[in-house]
Amino acid sequence: MSYQVLARKWRPSNFSQVAGQAHVLKSLINALDNERLHHAYLFTGTRGVGKTTLARILAKCLNCEEGISSVPCEKCGSCTEITEGRFIDLLEIDAASRTKVEDTRELLDNVQYAPSRGRFKVYLIDEVHMLSNHSFNALLKTLEEPPPHVKFLFATTDPQKLPITILSRCLQFNLKNLSPQLISEYLGSVLEKEKLEFEEEALWQIAAAASGSMRDALTLVDQAISYCEGQVATDGVIEMLGVPPQKQVYELLKGMASRSVSTILELIRDIAEQTPDYSHTLDSLLSTLHRVAIAQIEPKAADNSYGDMPQILELASLISAEDVQLYYQMGIKGREDLRLSAEVRTAFEMLLIRMLVFSPGYVEPTNLVTGVSADSSTTNESSSATESEKKKNKLTEEIRSPQQLEEPEPERMSEELIEVSSEAPTDIEAEQSSDTEHDGAEVPSARVVDAHREKQLDPEEGSESDKPASAASTGAITLDSLSPESWLRLYPQLEITGIAANVLANSDFQRADSNTIHFVLDHSQSAVFSDELLPKISQALSSYFAVEVSVQIEIADAKNETPAMLSQRVKQEKHVAMVNDFESDENVQELLKHFSGTLAKETIAPNKD
């Protein structure tokens, strides 16, 4: 037996076998079952979605010897002849090859004669938009007054080209492109019936490549079967289609998410071994980013084109929405680079590195920055070269300031407060230079702002909180002098961590009498409190005051500012100042202009060292 291509072998012969197009099927079935028949039907849609297949089934429904029905018997003479394509009253015309008016006249001359065998004479005109104007005019006359025994079934990929006079006389059905999911499921069922082995991922790749056309998909499966020697395997299909494996794209994006340049370079090395088409890989990267962006904003609407929903959702959780947008924007612009570059691989590598280093969360490896900073501090500080170096560092550091959107963890609270109040230097210049001296990863600009804010917030307390030493050495805060204000300064100096620290951070000092300190813990934080924390809290305070202290904590509304509230306020004010600083920076403005970007203000945050 000769091999019959799958697209023909598995062409549906009745409505129940048609994949998808439920909206069209429903109206056709209703019309047939109720015998509300029109004399002209127009099926539109891209190639391979089932236009002529549906028209043939409709012809069968109209001519079945058992009667007009949406479920033809498929046994009678008419049914079998239509299935085999030799029914005398079904006239199939390919308008693309018969565009002349004579052809149409000849065809229509016979319209008036009754069908010789069937109930209706059915004219199936494929690619009807290809007919000439004269042909349309000839056709129009018949369409205006069609004999009752004639049905016209038109199919076209381009309904726009049909004269409105023809369109208005047809019942129009728009066939949709088939979803990759539907195609891959259908291919799976066909291959199962064919008893051929296949890998699901391969079917998704084919479904995506077929872009909505079932006929194309089945043709690709035919090709894959011969390419992979009797089965449909992912590797073979990827090779045959010349597409980058989706896996590579996920890996690249995961590398970006982990901000690992070495991972990305390694992946590109792997890709390079497979004689790749980089612009294809870039396109896949872009379309995946698009799907990730949708999954982030509306997970329900996420597109499952490759049956890879879990991977897309994973990426959506790994990469921030801003980064997705940034990568996409840069990727689109980067296509040009690939085209212009003599070394496509280099351009591709540069593009990915660019995406990475420009993304807000990227932190340059410390050793490199230290090198630069050490240079600038050992050479003459006042030289203009050093100044520009500093300025450059400042800009790149600012671009990279990682976003800290989430609330600080309870454990971190105390540390943070120490940081907040212990870093209020009096001399901004001194701070800046000392920063570059001992730690390259520090952010001079952010610190300058910090210092500013600190000074404005508590000008008279700055000097005191400079020294996070014990009370014994400063003699500043004693048990007697403890007040709601001094409590805010004392808190960061306590040696306490974890939930106990969190409880104290949210506590407002009430009073101290005979070595018992009374606090009020704000209602909102009461859930974390338990009596078991009291010994730890007492111990921290006892060691600070160098005297045995006991603690009582009452849960109520905090009346005074708590250390946590102070921290929050300082942070907000700092943020406002940073945003202002950032917005007024010439280089930032230049960047925004160049990449048609907007500033994601909520992601601007001081660097956490």
DSSP state of 491: G
Residues 257-286 that bind Zn ion (CB under 5 A): none
Binding span for Zn ion by CB under 5 A among 20-28, 71-79, 105-113, 483-491: 71-79
71 versus 101: smaller Cβ distance to Zn ion: 71
- The answer to whether residue 64 forms part of the interface with Zn ion (CB under 5 A) is yes
CB of 69 vs Zn ion, minimal distance in Å:
9
All residues at 6 or more sequence positions from 344 whose CB lies less than 8 Å from its CB, including other chains? 278, 279, 338
Contact 132, 101 (CB under 8 A): yes
Contact 381, 433 (CB under 8 A): yes
Binding span for Zn ion by CB under 5 A among 56-64, 95-103, 353-361, 421-429: 56-64
Handedness of CA 144, 150, 151, 153 (dihedral sign): negative
- The answer to whether residue 71 forms part of the interface with Zn ion (CB under 5 A) is no
- The answer to whether residue 72 forms part of the interface with Zn ion (CB under 5 A) is yes
CB of 117 vs Zn ion, minimal distance in Å:
12
Binding span for Zn ion by CB under 5 A among 58-66, 444-452, 579-587, 598-606: 58-66
Measured between alpha carbons, how far is 46 from 158 in angstroms, rounded to an integer? 8
All residues at 6 or more sequence positions from 230 whose CB lies less than 8 Å from its CB, including other chains? 196, 197
64 versus 128: smaller Cβ distance to Zn ion: 64
Binding span for Zn ion by CB under 5 A among 72-80, 124-132, 323-331, 553-561: 72-80
* Closest to 40 measured CA to CA, from 155, 132, 195: 155
CB of 141 vs Zn ion, minimal distance in Å:
32
79 versus 420: smaller Cβ distance to Zn ion: 79
Which x/- pattern over 10-49 shows residues binding Zn ion (rule: CB under 5 A)?
Answer: ----------------------------------------
82 versus 588: smaller Cβ distance to Zn ion: 82
CB of 65 vs Zn ion, minimal distance in Å:
5
58 versus 64: smaller Cβ distance to Zn ion: 64
- The answer to whether residue 218 forms part of the interface with Zn ion (CB under 5 A) is no
73 versus 565: smaller Cβ distance to Zn ion: 73
Contact 238, 245 (CB under 8 A): yes
Strand order of the β-sheet with 171-174 is 90-94, 121-126, 150-156, 40-44, 171-174
CB of 82 vs Zn ion, minimal distance in Å:
9
Binding span for Zn ion by CB under 5 A among 65-73, 254-262, 306-314, 495-503: 65-73
* Closest to 249 measured CA to CA, from 289, 203, 305, 201: 289
DSSP string, 64-90: -TT-S-SS--S-SHHHHHHHHT--TTE
DSSP string, 307-370: S-HHHHHHHHHHS-HHHHHHHHHHHHHHHHHHHH-SSHHHHHHHHHHHHHHHSTT----HHHHH
CB of 155 vs Zn ion, minimal distance in Å:
23
CB of 119 vs Zn ion, minimal distance in Å:
11
Measured between alpha carbons, how far is 254 from 274 in angstroms, rounded to an integer? 20
58 versus 187: smaller Cβ distance to Zn ion: 58
DSSP state of 525: G
CB of 144 vs Zn ion, minimal distance in Å:
31
CB of 167 vs Zn ion, minimal distance in Å:
32
Size of the site for Zn ion (CB under 5 A): 5
CB of 124 vs Zn ion, minimal distance in Å:
18
Binding span for Zn ion by CB under 5 A among 69-77, 267-275, 420-428, 588-596: 69-77
Q: Which of 68, 73, 441, 457: binder of Zn ion (CB under 5 A)?
A: 73
Amino acid identity, residue 119? Answer: R
- Beta pairing, strands 150-156 & 516-522: unpaired
B/e letters for 432-441, b = 16+ CB within 10 Å, e = fewer, are bebbbeeebb
Binding span for Zn ion by CB under 5 A among 38-46, 61-69, 117-125, 259-267: 61-69
CB of 64 vs Zn ion, minimal distance in Å:
3
Measured between alpha carbons, how far is 11 from 19 in angstroms, rounded to an integer? 10
CB of 67 vs Zn ion, minimal distance in Å:
9
Beta bridge partners of 550: 516
CB of 29 vs Zn ion, minimal distance in Å:
16
* Closest to 568 measured CA to CA, from 402, 411, 420, 467: 420
67 versus 371: smaller Cβ distance to Zn ion: 67
Binding span for Zn ion by CB under 5 A among 12-20, 63-71, 370-378, 568-576: 63-71
Which x/- pattern over 76-95 shows residues binding Zn ion (rule: CB under 5 A)?
Answer: x--x----------------
18 versus 451: smaller Cβ distance to Zn ion: 18
Which x/- pattern over 152-191 shows residues binding Zn ion (rule: CB under 5 A)?
Answer: ----------------------------------------
23 versus 75: smaller Cβ distance to Zn ion: 75
How far is C-alpha 392 from the chain's CA centre?
A: 32
CB of 12 vs Zn ion, minimal distance in Å:
16
Question: Token pair for residue 509?
Answer: 């000092």
72 versus 440: smaller Cβ distance to Zn ion: 72
Radius of gyration of the chain (CA): 37
Contact 153, 119 (CB under 8 A): no
Binding span for Zn ion by CB under 5 A among 8-16, 26-34, 75-83, 354-362: 75-83
Handedness of CA 327, 331, 337, 343 (dihedral sign): positive
Amino acid identity, residue 160? Answer: Q
CB of 77 vs Zn ion, minimal distance in Å:
8
* Closest to 153 measured CA to CA, from 91, 230, 67: 91
Which position has the token pair 């909206």? 23
Binding span for Zn ion by CB under 5 A among 50-58, 68-76, 100-108, 435-443: 68-76
* C-alpha dist (Å) from residue 313 to 303, 316, 326, 406, 588: 10, 5, 18, 21, 32
73 versus 313: smaller Cβ distance to Zn ion: 73
- Rule CB under 5 A: which residues touch Zn ion? 64, 72-73, 76, 79
